[in-house]
Structure 1
């Protein structure tokens, strides 16, 4: 899976070939005029210390620094009742600092000799076809779905290869479906089949990730009440590994000078087909309530796992769980967890662009399978600033400090420093 240069010529050729008949008319319509292109520069420092490392992996620290480039080009559509277009993504990651005893931060691929790659890159494209308010895409894609949550939390984002369809023919209603055949992980240039995690643990057989080449999904989201309320229902199948159902409710309600919000969700997951992961049984429920008053936002979250297992998900992805945070996910078997969080926008103090937040989570009742109850907690501090004017306008800086402790998994002290700047090229 660790290929360090992959230009995806097949996908590009297919996209161009299918588009050629329509591109003849491109100059007459919005194919060129509506094209957008952005280049994001991301400089990422990641450090994670393991204060009580145990087990076969005795690496006590992960620390790497890298520079990323993310190019996104999205064409408009050719004219006519059927519009054609092409989306392309180019990714490049460059090592700035690493060593064999500090690898596996998720920023860089790792060679067979245990060293991080000096650089890695990827170029992919997708053909898109639009009829009315329905769009079909075939090829390289970056998706944000509740059953396949977009995990852009390291140097470069993951991508997926397959076919998807999105329809918004009815006001307020969004219908989606698709099949994905492979993925390029956040620290890979090549692509491979999709694996699974159950809770925070990747599922392996003889050391190799258990994978499949089919991820099928379908879902519907409906917004109403002036878009202040939305409901969703989804189904996902990671073929022969697990299948999953998800329902959600989101609501925002102004009350005087306050804005109250609620984000509620429920997952039901079980084994699928050949049961390559064995039997699975998980039901996950979460609620994240918010209250915003001026520059202040307060959150209270509760999350609970039921059944014999933790929440299954596609390997190396995050999830929309209310208590899933940067380091611990609080989704182990039988776990119950609470979250309190506070965010402040310093615009109210005359410093626009500066925001800060702190949160604390605690979980218990974990079925460790080792004869004792698992417990854990995490404290996160985030500070972010976006330059508002001058030659550096738009430059974003984010600092994250994490302390996470557990009696059944490794303790973590973590720091991240991230610089982001996006150029609009078209």
Structure 2
């Protein structure tokens, strides 16, 4: 047998092991199951205030930014327990801003009142999978009825902690987790959790952990589902949520219904004081061809408004782009119409208009608060050619209130997602 130098033998064996390992990983999906996307998002935001109410006399929030969102998700290593990794990279660039026009939610605000030229963040999450149960630790983006994923500005928020999702029983999804910090949609660093109560931020107190657990069960051919959830922002509030959803085909129509109920109370040391809110929200919808008609009703009970994590949105039926209709004792009604022009042979073109009206608000001035919001969206995604998948949205909003500032708002959003592999 011909002699092989020791270093060459080592390299040969090492290369063989690496090749075999890589082949095994590829065969089991760690590599072959990986995906990566890069989304470019251009966002213009203009919010004009009129008849200003409150201490903040800023008359306009107007900023323009360019964002990039890189998402990587691996497959899993071979074996009974598979391991993998997810990673996210976020970069926001200032295109236009001014100290008198900040606080749009697109860009950070520095100590000097100006927005920086750029901000960025990168994070990873390690994951393990056994059967149909997945554990993740690290940078997370959960979307829960008690913590809605609020990707509504230039960059999305992220959370740092641990999550567990189990789908071992057909139709039943169990979830639980503990989140220790949040990176806001317009910030680079981590910070503790804070709360919003009835659209009023409570920023003088922070909770160390956000704990949650919930179950959703879909049955009746997945047309019907029920949900039960619990959340706790430690020493600030705890919350229970119950939901029922159903879709029913009826000839050429599809009818839908949703009813949800939140119950929020103060927790532990009660760092923001008393919390007492019960929120009922409902929605009925009817879809025919490209048309979707919806109506919603929402009611607040208790001594405070609806409670959630700052600065997240919520899945309340009547929450809109600017007002949430979740103040103390508020009752609100919504009418909404969506149309998909694919039904007329123009795929990619969609529009939405909705009108929401709220009243019965208990105000600090001892009079009934009333408000309304009108939203109009027009969106188009290019279907072919060199600009295929380029999305465009024009979003116009008008808001009027007798106890809060009136708002006129315009947003223009361009998005393009490139699949890297």
TM-score tier, shorter chain, comes to: over 0.9
1:142 and 1:77 mapped to 2: Cα distance? 19
Q: Distance in 2 between matches of 1:162 and 1:228?
A: 33
CA displacement at 1:56 relative to structure 2: 2.5
Please give the alpha-carbon distance, in whole angstroms, between the structure 2 residues aligned to 1:236 and 1:414: 33
SS at match of 1:66: strand
Task: Find the residue that maps to 2:273 and give its secondary structure.
Answer: coil
Deviations 1:271-318 (A, max 9, x none): 000001111110000101100111111001000000001011000001
Partner of 1:152: 151
2:249 and 2:28 map into 1 onto residues whose CA distance is: 42
Q: For structure 1, which runs of at least 5 residues remain unmatched after alignment?
A: 1-21
1:226 is the counterpart of 2:225: no
For the residues of structure 2 that align with 1:163 and 1:345, how far apart are their CA atoms? 38
- Tell whether 2:358 aligns with 1:363: yes
2:53 touches 2:403 (CA, 8 Å); kept in 1? Answer: no
Structure 1 stretches of 4+ with a deviation exceeding 2 A read 22-29
Shift of 1:28: 4.7
Instruction: Report the CA distance shift for 1:169/1:23 in structure 2 as closer, same or farther (over 3 A).
Output: farther
Residues 230, 94 of structure 1: alpha-carbon distance in 2 compared, 3 angstrom cutoff:
same
Of structures 1 and 2, the larger Rg is shown by: 2
Distance of 1:23 and 1:336 partners within structure 2: 59
Match of 1:247 among 242, 245, 249: 242
CA contact (8 A) 1:23 1:78 kept: no
Aligned residue for 1:403, secondary structure, equals strand
2:203 is aligned to 204
**More displaced 10-residue stretch of structure 1: 23-32 or 354-363:** 23-32
For 1:204 and 1:43, locate their aligned partners in 2 and report how far apart those are by CA, in whole Å.
Answer: 29
Deviation of residue 346 (structure 1)?
1.0
1:397 is displaced (CA, Å) by 0.3
For the pair 1:62 / 2:61, whether they are aligned, the reply is: yes
The alignment partner of 1:391 has SS state of coil
Q: Could you tell me which residue of structure 1 aligns to residue 12 of structure 2?
A: none
Partner residue in 2 for 1:33: 32
Q: CA deviation at 1:54?
A: 3.3
Cross-structure match for 1:173: 172
2: distance between equivalents of 1:296 and 1:27?
45
> C-alpha separation between the residues in 2 aligned to 1:47 and 1:136?
40
Give, in whole Å, the separation in 2 of the partners of 1:26 and 1:111: 45
Q: Offset of 1:52 from its aligned partner?
A: 1.4
With over 3 angstroms needed to count, the CA separation of the structure-2 counterparts of 1:24 and 1:162, relative to structure 1, is: farther
Q: How many Å separate the matches in 1 of 2:336 and 2:189? A: 38
Q: Are residue 120 (structure 1) and residue 119 (structure 2) matched?
A: yes
TM-align CA RMSD: 1.1
Deviations 1:101-146 (CA, angstroms, capped at 9, x unpaired): 1101000001100000100000000000100000000000111000
Contact residue 303 and residue 336 of structure 1 kept, 8 A? yes
Report how far residue 57 of structure 1 moved: 1.5
Displacement, 1:162? 0.2
Question: What's the TM-score, normalizing by structure 2?
Answer: 0.94
TM-score, structure 1 normalization: 0.93
Q: Compared with structure 1, are the counterparts of its residues 27 and 354 closer, same or farther at alpha carbon in structure 2 (3 Å cutoff)?
A: closer
The separation in 2 between residues aligned to 1:352 and 1:134, in whole angstroms, is 37
3-state SS in 1 of match to 2:169 = coil
Partners of 1:363 and 1:160 lie apart in 2 by 32
Q: CA deviation at 1:263?
A: 1.4
Q: Distance in 1 between matches of 2:354 and 2:323?
A: 13
- Work out the CA distance in 2 between the residues paired with 1:356 and 1:339: 17
